[in-house]
Structure formats: C-alpha cells, structure tokens
Structure 1
Amino acid sequence: MFSKKCPYCRGKNLYLKQTSLVVKYGCRDCDKKVKLMRENGMSDKDIMKVIK
C-alpha cells in the first residue's frame, strides 16, 4: 500500500515519476540527495539515518 509520506524524510512533497507498468513516486525535498547517496553505495537504512 502506498504511504502519503516520503519513506526517507517523511515529507509530503511527493510527485509522480513514472506511470508505465509500475507507478513510482518521488520526493521533491530529498530525491537528489538519495540518488547521490545510492550512487556512492549507501543502503536504505544508512540513508534514513543520515537524512533524519
């Protein structure tokens, strides 16, 4: 089920990223930060710790 809040920063500034086959949402507040952290090899748990 879809949550109305971002899983990382718990903000409500979500937008629709992709609609074909799978619906994906992104957060305007932390999307760029999360992308950079994933490229550097951080896990989801580590990203949540840094952003909070």
Structure 2
Amino acid sequence: MKKYLPFFILATLIVGGILAYQYWWANSEEPIGGEKDEHGCLLMAGYTWCE
C-alpha cells in the first residue's frame, strides 16, 4: 500500500485542481466591453445600428 500512496496523493491533487479550475471558470464574470445590443453591436466600442 505504501508503494501506491504517492500515486493516490498526486491523482487526488490533480483531480482537485481540475475541479477547482472548472468551478472558478464557470463563476468568472464576463470581461468589460463584452456588452452587445439587440443587433450584436459592441456598445463600448462605439458601434451603432441604423437602417
């Protein structure tokens, strides 16, 4: 059992790191300037829509 203990610890750390990263990525906010209007124009870039 002592022979496999480092493997189990390493595997647990890797899986825990992956799960923590996915949790952080799913809960991160959208970057500033990503807001679009109903036509898909970027608001902060100064784009507008007219016909």
Fold similarity call, TM over 0.5:
no
Q: TM class by shorter-chain length? A: under 0.3
Determine which structure has greater relative contact order: mean sequence separation of CA pairs < 8 Å that are 6+ residues apart, divided by chain length.
1
